[in-house]
A = this chain, B = another copy of it.
């Protein structure tokens, strides 16, 4: 097996994502991630295993007995949530996932109160966290940082797993996992996640969730992808290049209503103006036709679903919120379950959970 201790950082950094994957696995448990850094680590089999584990955890958590069993599993472990980029949703979802499994937690959410002002390097900060905790969940605006930290820790005397909760513009793997889990659950008793049309709409250029989900969908049979966006915010070439290389059918469009009528899932996204290079840049783009409202709801097939990674602004009108096809609230809660599943799996508790009560 490939090991991070046997490869230098610069050599590792240069590898294509798929070649990096084996380096991130748990040496002791086959086909299981140790560090979770990018969506490309997850193939269909692993996604389906995670979904089954999340289902199981969700079911167990309904009874006090099951909930207490889950809480006993990792009650001897501590997790550090290091969020140098603001995000209450992702923070709370990971926090709840830890609490479900009994992990106690510490957090640094505001770098102003951290040691960094005393001139410490990020590498030293991570070593600090690894001194006191058994898992680091990190979110950072800095591209590639989670990867670097994973390499550093694996090459330290205290190699503990890194879980990337968003790193720069490019990777947010657990968001992609919860999206896939939501699709798997939604179509579970309706023929499964195959032969479907998934429409992405909004800021497809900068949304890292679109990038990751588009990739993960290529693991499933015959999923057509439709990208609906203003020209300035269309999906980047490198995303569609992957689809083309894998022979996945896709279309670009600027007509949301037309796309909706043919969709099994419509994945709406927010204009990510926090990444604007000059202030107000995004405000100049006409996004009025890229919103989901009462009209779009009428056009959506009866078994279609609406998704959104949240937070939303006005991309989805609140009048859609109570429609049974609005899946975004459940999608959010799915995040908690799939993150619990991932953490449990990382620490080798998959089997124990799957066998509970059997």
Interface residues on A, range: 35 or more
Which residue of the partner chain, among B64, B92, B158, B311, contacts A124 with CB atoms under 8 Å?
B311
| Cβ contact within 8 Å between B329 and A127 | yes
Contact present for A129 and B71 (CB under 8 Å): no
A310 within 8 A of B: yes
Contact call B329/A270, Cβ cutoff below 8 A: no
Q: How far is the CA of A33 from the CA of B129 in the complex (A)?
A: 29
- With A92-B106, A96-B106, A118-B270 known, 11 other A-B pairs at CB within 8 A are A68-B76, A78-B96, A86-B115, A89-B128, A110-B110, A124-B312, A127-B332, A131-B333, A131-B335, A132-B336, A157-B330
In the complex, whether A189 has a CB less than 8 A from a CB of chain B is no
Known contacts A88-B113, A92-B106, A128-B92, A120 near B76 by CB under 8 Å: no
A235 interfacial contact with B, CB 8 Å: no
A298-340 CB contact bits vs B (8 Å, 1 = yes)? 0000000000001111000010000000000110110110000
CA distance A120 to B309 in the complex (A): 12
Residues of B within 8 A of A330 (CB): 157
Choose one: B88, B92, B104, B156; the contact of A329 (CB below 8 Å): B156
Query: What are 25 A-B contacts defined by CB distance under 8 Å?
Result: A64-B76, A67-B76, A80-B92, A86-B113, A87-B115, A88-B125, A88-B128, A89-B128, A91-B106, A93-B132, A95-B132, A96-B132, A96-B133, A110-B113, A119-B311, A119-B313, A120-B313, A124-B310, A124-B311, A124-B312, A128-B310, A131-B329, A131-B332, A131-B333, A131-B335
